[in-house]
Structures are given as C-alpha cells and as structure tokens.
C-alpha cells in the first residue's frame, strides 16, 4: 500500500491563471503537427528564430570538392558552432559523430554528377531511412525552369507526402540552372512554388535587388545558400542583408569551409544571423578570432 500512504488531498490547479497556449513561432508553420514542429525547432534557434545551417552535402554531385576532402578533420570541428548540419546519409553514417544532437538536414535527392545535366535528379533517400537516422528534415533540389522541372517538383511532392505521414519536414532547395537569371522575379517564382507544393521551408539564393519581396511572397521560412566562395567580408554582408530583408537564416557551405579560417568564419556568421551584428563588426570579430585574440 506504499503508493497510497503518502497521497495528500491537496492540489493546486492555479485556477487564477489561464492555461498557457504558445503559438509555434516559425512563419507559416503554426498548423503543422507537433512532431513536425519539434523537428523544425531542432533547426531554428528558439531565441532568435534563425538558423545557421552548415551545408556540406556538395559531394553528392561534386565529389571531394575543396574543403571537403577530409571531412573528419576539417568539418567535424565546425559542428559545435552550427545550429544544423546538412549532409548526405553516406557522410552522416561514415564520418559524423552520433553524439551530434542538433538538427540534421538530410540530402534526399541526387543522381547526376557535375559531368551531366544536373536537373536530372531522383529521390535518393527513403523516408524510413531518414527516420532511422533521426534527422530533422530532408532536402530536395527543385529545378524551376530546368530541363527536368516537372520531375524535380514531383520528387519534392512525393517527399512531402511521405514526410507528412511521419512528421518529417521537407526543405525545398531552389537550384538555378546556368541558363537562368538569378533575380528576384525568378526567386519569387521558385520559392513560392516550393512553398505552395508543401515545403516546410525553402532554400534560395540572395539577390541584391528585391530580396525582401522574395521573402515576403514566400509563406514559409527562407534560408539562403552561400554560393561560390567570395571574400569573407562580402559573405558576412550578404548574410546580414538577407537576414535584415526577411531570411530566417543561412545554409552556408563554401563560404565557411573554404574560408581562410573556417571556425572564426562560422562564429562570425552566427553573430550576424543570431545577433544582427553589422558586417564590419562581424568581420572585425572574424579577424580577431583568426589572429587568436
Ligand atoms: C548545393 O547544391 C548544396 O545543396 C549546398 O548545400 C548549397 O549550395 C549550400 O552550399 P553553398 O553555401 O556552398 O552554396
């Protein structure tokens, strides 16, 4: 009778306080299921609402590109500074420590290498394996205007259907073919299509003119890719502008792992994304950290 002996007949239901009900803070994600929201909360920081995703999935079509030759040596030390890791299942299983307990966004499309037509992708990961790997989202390339546009959109919608069954968010990645113009008009089109067809959030590129219209017209969060390596100050400026103009974060690869000092660079990117630090100050921070000050 030990269970019953200590029971007190006094309770505090806090009748003077209304039951708290907190809306999920991410744009356009309030109606998602609890599991889906919980996974997104592994990606976006609770305080700032933003994310620094470290993108290291390039090998799925580029092979061992500069900076990713030895990911055990050059990428694993960056993990402590990222909110989220974006990679392939091969690198996740072979190289990333399973003690990493932040969000993983799993590359889930692939097929052609840089030697072929890139838009010719298929789904490359089953939802069951994504669940087995305990990832927080799957990412799929969408080639609006590309040769295999319809198939790439269909890849995304099939992943969205599978993801909705299990509470797995899908990141729609807008990939811009060489023949297309990277401007706000194109980005509005591509990001909106991804969101309309079910992506929980969308990755795009920053454009100098009109990015705020891209962010405004997309009903779910947008993160920007870093793109090709540019000077560190310019990359910090791009991240700053994107955040100020409505992006919810960055999914940055080459501008971090190809930087002269990758750890100071990801730390500086964090200052911009989470604290709104101005580019000049973030660059000073980068140089001081690089010099060991
Ligand atoms: C490219 O297709 C990959 O998905 C990368 O994750 C993405 O481009 C972001 O990396 P980066 O900042 O190097 O452009």
Long-range contacts of 156-163 (CB under 8 A, 24+ apart): 156/194, 156/197, 156/198, 156/199, 157/197, 157/198, 158/123, 159/108, 159/123, 159/127, 160/197, 160/198, 160/199, 161/198, 162/126, 162/127, 163/36, 163/127, 163/138, 163/200
If one residue of 55, 152, 255 were mutated to test the ligand 1 pocket, choosing by the most ligand atoms within 8 A of its CB, it would be: 55
Say how many Å lie between the CA of residue 87 and the centre of ligand 1. 10
d(CA 92, CA 161): 24
Tell me how far apart the alpha carbons of residues 203 and 249 are, in angstroms, rounded to a whole number: 9
- CB-neighbour burial class of residue 17 (10 A; exposed 0-12, middle 13-18, buried 19+): exposed
Q: Which residues line ligand 1 (CB under 6 A)?
A: 55, 57-58, 86, 173, 225-227, 251-255
Of ligand 1's listed atoms, the one at least distance from the Cα of 56 is 6
Q: What pTM did the predictor assign?
A: 0.95
From the CA of 145, how far away is ligand 1's center (Å)? Answer: 19
Q: What is the reported pLDDT for 293?
A: 80
> Going residue by residue through the chain (293 aa), what tens digit of pLDDT does each one get?
566 666 677 889 999 999 999 999 999 999 999 999 999 999 999 999 999 999 999 999 999 999 999 999 999 999 999 999 999 999 999 999 999 999 999 999 999 999 998 889 999 999 999 999 999 999 999 999 999 999 999 999 999 999 999 999 999 999 988 788 889 999 999 999 999 999 999 999 999 999 999 999 999 999 999 999 999 999 999 999 999 999 999 999 999 999 999 999 999 999 999 999 999 999 999 999 999 88
Residue 4 is predicted with a pLDDT of 62
Closest ligand 1 atom to Cα of 254 = 13
What is the average pLDDT score of the chain?
95
Q: Which residues are catalytic?
A: 203
């Amino acid at each position: 009778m030990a269970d019953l002996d200590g029971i007190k007949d006094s309770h505090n239901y806090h009748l003077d306080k209304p039951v708290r009900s907190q809306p999920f803070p991410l744009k356009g994600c309030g109606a998602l299921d609890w599991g889906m929201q919980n996974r997104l909360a592994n990606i976006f920081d609770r305080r700032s609402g933003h994310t620094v995703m470290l993108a290291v999935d390039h090998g799925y079509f580029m092979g061992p590109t500069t900076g990713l030759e030895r990911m055990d040596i050059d990428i694993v030390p960056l993990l402590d500074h990222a909110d989220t890791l974006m990679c392939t299942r091969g690198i996740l299983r072979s190289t990333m420590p399973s003690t990493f307990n932040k969000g993983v966004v799993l590359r889930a499309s692939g097929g052609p290498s840089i030697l072929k037509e890139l838009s010719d992708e298929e789904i490359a990961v089953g939802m069951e394996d994504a669940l087995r790997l305990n990832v927080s989202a799957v990412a799929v390339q969408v080639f609006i205007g590309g040769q295999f546009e319809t198939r790439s959109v269909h890849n995304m919608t099939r992943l969205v259907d599978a993801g909705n069954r299990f509470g797995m968010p899908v990141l729609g990645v807008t990939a811009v073919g060489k023949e297309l113009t990277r401007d706000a008009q194109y980005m509005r089109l591509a990001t909106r299509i991804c969101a309309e067809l079910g992506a929980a959030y969308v990755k795009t590129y920053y454009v100098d003119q009109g990015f705020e219209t891209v962010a405004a017209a997309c009903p779910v969060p947008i993160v920007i890719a870093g793109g090709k390596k540019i000077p560190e100050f310019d990359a910090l400026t791009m991240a700053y502008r994107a955040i100020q103009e409505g992006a919810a974060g960055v999914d940055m690869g080459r501008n971090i792992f190809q930087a002269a000092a990758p750890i100071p660079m990801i730390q500086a990117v964090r200052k911009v994304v989470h604290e709104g630090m101005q580019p000049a100050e973030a660059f000073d921070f980068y140089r001081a950290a690089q010099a060991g000050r």
